[in-house]
Structure 1
Amino acid sequence: MLRHRVIPALLLRKGGLVKTRRFKDPVYVGDPTNAIRIFNDKEVDELMVLDIEATRSGAGPDFGAIELFAGECFMPLAYGGGIQTLDQAARIFDLGVEKICLQTAALSDVSLVTRIAERYGSQSVIVSIDIKRDWRKRPWLYGSYSKKLLTLDWLGHANKMTQAGAGEILLNVVDRDGMMSGYDVELVRSLAGSVQVPIIALGGAGNLDHMREAVVAGASAVAAGSMFVFHGPHRAVLITYPRYQDMERMLDISK
Structure 2
Amino acid sequence: MTNLAKRIIPCLDIKDGRVVKGVNFVQLKDAGNPLEVAKRYNDYGADELVFLDINASHEGRKATLNVIESIAKEVFIPLTIGGGISTLQDISDMLNAGCDKVSLNSSALNTPSFINESAEKFGTQCITIAIDVKKRQDSTIGVFTHGGRNDSGRNMQDWLQEVKERGAGEILLTSMDTDGTKLGFDIEKLRIAMEVCDLPLIASGGAGNKEHILAAFELGVNAALAASIFHYQEVSIMELKEYLRKHNIPVRI
Q: Distance between the aligned counterparts of 1:240 and 1:82, measured in 2?
A: 31
| 2:103 matches 1:101 | yes
TM value normalised by structure 2:
0.92
Cα deviation, residue 112, structure 1: 1.5
User: Contact between 2:132 and 2:148, CA under 8 Å: does it hold in 1?
Assistant: no
Could you say if the C-alpha distance between residues 146 and 17 of structure 1 is closer, same or farther in structure 2, counting changes exceeding 3 Å?
closer
Q: Distance between the aligned counterparts of 2:185 and 2:39, measured in 1?
A: 27
User: What letter is aligned with 2:180?
Assistant: G
Cα deviation, residue 231, structure 1: 4.7
Query: Which residue of 110, 119, 122 maps to 2:121?
Result: 119
Cα deviation, residue 136, structure 1: 5.7
| 2:231 matches 1:252 | no
Deviation per residue, 1:17-49 (Å, 9 max, x gap): 000110001111110100011112112111110
| Secondary structure, counterpart of 2:76 in structure 1 | coil
User: Contact between 2:7 and 2:223, CA under 8 Å: does it hold in 1?
Assistant: yes
Cα deviation, residue 55, structure 1: 1.1
Match of 2:187 in 1: 185
Q: Distance between the aligned counterparts of 1:208 and 1:240, measured in 2?
A: 10
User: Contact between 2:148 and 2:176, CA under 8 Å: does it hold in 1?
Assistant: no
Match of 1:20 in 2: 22
User: What letter is aligned with 2:237?
Assistant: Y
User: Contact between 2:45 and 2:238, CA under 8 Å: does it hold in 1?
Assistant: no
Q: Distance between the aligned counterparts of 1:109 and 1:165, measured in 2?
A: 14
Q: Distance between the aligned counterparts of 2:116 and 2:88, measured in 1?
A: 10
Deviation per residue, 1:128-172 (Å, 9 max, x gap): 111112346542212235713332121111111111110101110
Deviation per residue, 1:46-69 (Å, 9 max, x gap): 111011011111121211111111
| Secondary structure, counterpart of 1:193 in structure 2 | helix
Match of 1:58 in 2: 60
Instruction: Tell me which stretches of 4 or more aligned residues in structure 1 moved more than 6 Å.
Output: none
Cα deviation, residue 103, structure 1: 0.3
| Secondary structure, counterpart of 1:223 in structure 2 | strand
Match of 1:78 in 2: 80
User: Contact between 1:208 and 1:250, CA under 8 Å: does it hold in 2?
Assistant: no
Identity value in percent: 31
Query: Which residue of 227, 230, 233 maps to 2:229?
Result: 227
| Secondary structure, counterpart of 2:58 in structure 1 | helix
Match of 2:44 in 1: 42
Q: Distance between the aligned counterparts of 1:251 and 1:149, measured in 2?
A: 39
User: Contact between 1:49 and 1:79, CA under 8 Å: does it hold in 2?
Assistant: yes
In the TM superposition, what are the counterparts of 1:117-196 in structure 2 within 5 Å?
117-135=119-137, 137-145=139-147, 147-196=149-198
TM value normalised by structure 1:
0.91
Q: Distance between the aligned counterparts of 1:96 and 1:49, measured in 2?
A: 12
User: Contact between 2:115 and 2:167, CA under 8 Å: does it hold in 1?
Assistant: yes
Match of 2:212 in 1: 210
User: What letter is aligned with 1:3?
Assistant: A
| Secondary structure, counterpart of 1:58 in structure 2 | coil
User: What letter is aligned with 1:68?
Assistant: S
More off after superposition, 18-27 vs 137-146: 137-146
Q: Distance between the aligned counterparts of 1:30 and 1:42, measured in 2?
A: 16
Match of 1:7 in 2: 9
User: What letter is aligned with 1:198?
Assistant: P
Deviation per residue, 1:90-110 (Å, 9 max, x gap): 111112110000000000111
User: Contact between 1:20 and 1:178, CA under 8 Å: does it hold in 2?
Assistant: yes
Q: Could you say what the CA RMSD is over the residues aligned between the two structures, in angstroms?
A: 1.8
